[in-house]
Structure 1
Amino acid sequence: MIKSNEQYVRLVMVRHAETEWNLAGKLQGWRDSRLTLAGRKALSSFIARNNIPRQYPADIVYSSDLGRALASARIICNKSGGYIVPDQRLRERRFGILEGKQKNVCINGFLHARHWFAYQGRYEKCLDACLAIATELQAESETAFERRVVDFLRALVRRHAGKTIYVVSHGEWIRCANNILHGRTSWAYGQGIPMNTEMNIFELKPPQLNLSE
């Protein structure tokens, strides 16, 4: 249990609810897609079934500024309290030319097999490890992605000691944050991509992984 006089933040990370592009197997990145009706219902049901408002009453709900995350954050706030603070640092990783495309499908030769091979192998080798592929993909670099995840986590421990903070974000962002919080390299597979509406809970403190710097 977190006490008010301790420098801990209870961090509740939630992946957004299912979207139309999730259903269609399209890569989203910084592009957006609306929540499905089933996704909205699943998130509401998950909150009610697990008695989230009583177990983890929210002080603040931070959300990615992308529509699918904000829509999910509104559902959470309606059930568990708190207020929404949009933050660009919580966006999904940008995947450049692959965004909006159906995964592993090559269209008119524009998307070549090597682009999808690089994407699928990103947990064995950084997506931007090959300069030629990285330039063609126009994707966010691993360094830039990791930097904004760490920057956000540092801000939390500085500002919100003793609070319960919800973070509504995306699959790759939560996977990366999980790795950082467990001392793994940011691009490792780690615990993998969480399912839609899946919740991860941490007690975060300043000394952890030098997050107070």
Structure 2
Amino acid sequence: MSSTNLHGLLNPNEASVTLILIRHGQTEWNLANKLQGWRDSPLTTQGRKTLLRTAVNNRLCHLYKPDVVYTSDLGRAMASARIICNKSGGYIVPDQRLRERRFGILEGKRKNECDDGFLLIQHWLAYQKRYEKRLDACHTIAAELLAESESMFEHRVVGFLRTLARRHAGKTVYVVSHGEWIRCANNILHGRTSWSCGEGIPMNTEMNIFELKASHVI
């Protein structure tokens, strides 16, 4: 378990939120190695079964019953949240700030597959190196990608965490989101640069727990 302040934004003397981050279940596009972003695909049968086993057997689900389950409003996360809630309790609150990072023209394409010529090769190279060099470091590539910038992505992740910390002090909150979102949140919660690789992308249905301190209204 990690106990951490939100990168200096939270008051260590205030009550904490028990925060459990969960990545959605396996999807059809996960199997096909397609980049999803803001586009969507349904959970696989295996993804649903794994989520059900997680909700029934995972010790966190038994030790920490949710007061509320926040979820990305994208279909794969909503479906995952419903499966978890049916077994673990709580009620679902969709929030757009929990969406995956938007990757523009790369969404819906098989990762590293170049079917549009040289230009798309450059875009995939930028995507592959996004933890070493920000996607928006090159203005030309950023404009062509139509992807969400690191600063915009970080802004909505931090905004959600601030809201959560103020609103649910003393409560247990599940957050069902996406790989890049959870990676970014993990970095922020540990005081790392938001766009670094950090602990990497969690596996589907992986759960991480934090004690999130409540902040002053900023």
The TM tier, using the shorter chain, reads over 0.9
2:152 is aligned with 1:141: no
Per the alignment, residue 188 of structure 1 pairs with 196
Across the two proteins, how many residue pairs are aligned to each other? 208
| 1:120-159 matches, cutoff 5 A | 120-159=128-167
SS at match of 2:22: strand
Q: Distance in 2 between matches of 1:76 and 1:39?
A: 12
Tell me how far 1:70 sits from its aligned partner. 0.2
Unaligned segments of structure 2, at least 5 residues: 4-12
Once the two structures are aligned, what percentage of the paired residues are identical? 72
SS at match of 2:21: strand
Q: Distance in 2 between matches of 1:198 and 1:110?
A: 36
| 1:163-174 matches, cutoff 5 A | 163-174=171-182
Unaligned segments of structure 1, at least 5 residues: none
Could you tell me which of 77, 82, 92 is aligned with 2:90? 82
Q: TM-score, normalised on structure 1? A: 0.93
Q: Distance in 1 between matches of 2:203 and 2:217?
A: 30
Q: Distance in 2 between matches of 1:9 and 1:87?
A: 18
Q: TM-score, normalised on structure 2? A: 0.91
Equivalent pair of 1:66/1:91 in contact (CA under 8 Å): yes
Tell me how far 1:110 sits from its aligned partner. 7.5
Equivalent pair of 1:92/1:169 in contact (CA under 8 Å): yes
Equivalent pair of 1:60/1:82 in contact (CA under 8 Å): yes
Per the alignment, residue 120 of structure 2 pairs with 112
SS at match of 1:128: helix
Equivalent pair of 2:182/2:201 in contact (CA under 8 Å): yes
Equivalent pair of 1:92/1:170 in contact (CA under 8 Å): yes
Tell me how far 1:51 sits from its aligned partner. 3.9
Could you tell me which of 168, 179, 185 is aligned with 1:177? 185
Runs of 4+ in 1 over 4 A off after TM superposition: none
2:55 is aligned with 1:47: yes
Tell me how far 1:6 sits from its aligned partner. 5.5
Equivalent pair of 2:14/2:214 in contact (CA under 8 Å): no
Q: Distance in 2 between matches of 1:97 and 1:26?
A: 12
Equivalent pair of 1:157/1:212 in contact (CA under 8 Å): no
Could you tell me which of 209, 212, 215 is aligned with 1:201? 209
